[in-house]
Structure 1
Amino acid sequence: MAFPQQIQSPPQYQAEVVVNENLETLGHQAVYGKNPLTTTALTWGYFGGRWGGFAVADGTLTLTNSATNYIVVAVATGVASVSTSNTNWNNSTDYARVYQLTTAGGVVTATQDHRAGPGGAHGYSAAGGGGGGVSSVAASGGVETTTGSPITGTGTIRGAVAVNTETGTTYTYVTGDRGGLVSHSNGGAIAGTLPQAGTTGFEANWYTFVQNVGAGTLTITPTTSTIDGAASLALTTGQGVMVVSDGTNYYTMRGRSSGGSSGTAGKHSIYIPASEMKPSATGGCAALATIASGADQPDITTLDFDATAAEHAQFSRVLPKRWNEGLIQYRVHWSHPSGASAYTVVWYLEAVAVSNDDPIATSFGSLEVITDVGGTANDMYVSVESGNVTVGGSPAAGDMVFFRITRDSPSGTDDLNVDARLHGITIFITTDAENDA
């Protein structure tokens, strides 16, 4: 049987049944439609029913006289409301249109039914398909409109990268960093925190670009999630990555290997063996010594530092011209002989830069301490990377930099009761040019 059911001629028995059955089938189209029984003067009545999964009750709305009244339905709740402002009327993301009513003299003088068609309550599509429509398109998160304003008719969207410059020592990435560049710059260590992947705003496909242009190391740590399978990711000066969420963890695309290269601006290491150092003239450590570790095995060539008195060794180096004359970090390579009953050693490094025709008798800059723990005789121990060493003087390109490494055995923390043997140290400098030209 085709719809609608036809009333036969001559008039059939109980024709009203056929009419009511037809109207029942069409009843969904009446949802939010005008209810003549409850509409009077400035009271607008509407029918209920089911819409968008909601059970809608019959209701009324109070109109404003001598105005244009906009009736809309909230997509999230199915609740109808009226306003003389067209803000919600033009918000096709959160609202569907119902009626535009003009009032004057305490009654409705003009009616526009917008329930059908794009943007209307009966044409709305929450998924963005079907008969849905939009009246304004804004752009963000990696794209922009060519005019800088939302598109209300026709227009062009293009890629865009907004720059967020951060100079502090801590930063928590936000959803608004999507598609942009977060540029970090600080002389000290920087802690960057990523909210857990998959939480609101950081769902799958969220991404941002991150770079470190400061002297301090930037460590990016996700909450709960991992980044490239690890708990955190460290970026030294001049390094940058693209960070992407897969909804569970974060992954990166890197434009430069983590090790860098000797001809690239960024952070670089210089190893200084004990053989290039000398015991300090005052309070110096023991002279360079070499012993065999075993037959046909590497020799142990070290400077030995006493277990009771603070002792020092020094060396000097003209650092590359491309050094940024800023902060330096270091790492200690050491061992200890047998006979130890405790194993904590405290080291510190100082440095001062001396320019042409400057006095050599100049105070070192502030010292930076490293504490490390041994345990097995003749094992090689490599400390963590230190904090920042401030080079004394007024560092300039081509300066001679004097370094002093000390075992601070009287510190109270150092409890290794035998000599600590220094094999060498690795210093880390930051360069701001590709070469020394």
Structure 2
Amino acid sequence: MSELLWQKEGVAVDARIQAFLAGDDVLLDREFIAHDIVASAAHARGLVRIGLLTADEGEAICRELDVLAADLASGAFVLDARYEDCHSAIEARLVERLGDTGRKVHTGRSRNDQILVATRLWLKAKLATLRALCIECAQIVLARAADERQPLPGYTHLQRAVVSSTTMWWAGFAEAFIDDAVRAGQALDWIDANPLGTAAGYGVNLALDREFTTAELGFARMQVSPIYAQLSRGKFELAAIEALAAATGDLRRLAWDLSLFTTGEFAFVALPAQYTTGSSIMPNKRNPDLVELMRATHASVAAARTEIEQLLSLPSGYHRDLQYTKGALVHAFGRGLGALELLPGLLRGLQWRPQAIAAAFDDGMYATDRAIELAVAGVPFRDAYRQAAADPLPAAGADPTASLAARVSPGGDAAPGLEILAARLQALKA
């Protein structure tokens, strides 16, 4: 490992203690180093503006940071155990290439605001990806809702309940993913605040141009209070994970439906072949493993949320406990976005099995229609309810198409409101 940034003369570093302190920071910081490079360049340009660096020094630092970013992207530079973290790696590279000029880059900042700004930029990118994926999924299912109107049994308590339709099933998830896209956008707007220049949480005795770095880094606003910058660490991560959890929670429900619908007992849906796997011992099996792991993904997101929440039992100011928020955050978004990135292909490729679906209807599923029909004719609803229990078939008989045609309440199959959802989706894309 290179010399530690904080190492004091005459104090030996115990390798075991240092290994515990560093943990898996170097591996996790591979997620953040590109953003730390961008923020370091903005900080250097800011130091030029207040005369702490000359124009030539600032230009040299930014040039070397560009080279480092290119080396990182090409694989020529790898963040590894030579370094304590991404911050020390960047500074070591600048010192190696620029000598004393490289040693000036840390003026007026702390690793506290470095990781805050790198994480904030990382989260903005992840939330933008989350929002785009939710919009894409909503587009796909809304189009299928419009194109595929066929009866589908509706269930409550996993028991056959009423006649529903593929249109209503698709529309349900369309609205869900539209709301998830809104939630992702709201979280992004909320965390879009620049902490760079807050240093260790108490400011510095330099007239840093924080409005300049805010604009340079594309933040919507400056996070004013240095103390709040530290208080927001973990809090903002939780907000981002909550937005991710909204989407993976809906993914879990969708995956559960598909898990049931692909069983031999239901057989309503055929999955694309590439979304299934074979058994290691049973030649007859094609298993919905991907759907099952999509269903499991929310557990990782929820676990990350709990881990970070428990870490935040702290007073104000920076505490090393906060280092552990990184792993939970990276793990949550790694699994969550990984699953959601595979979802559009699944949604496009799954196919309904009309014969199996048609065979699943029974006379009892028309009882609610019958009760409403009697109530419309003037029978008090509780009397109509009892009559329908004895004789469930409405005037139209056991006809799922007729049942759906009569479902005229807003959102029902005869009035699904797809144009309303399309308008909401279009507003998100504008």
**TM-score calculated relative to the size of structure 2:** 0.23
Name the one with the larger strand percent: 1
**TM-score calculated relative to the size of structure 1:** 0.23
Name the one with the larger helix percent: 2
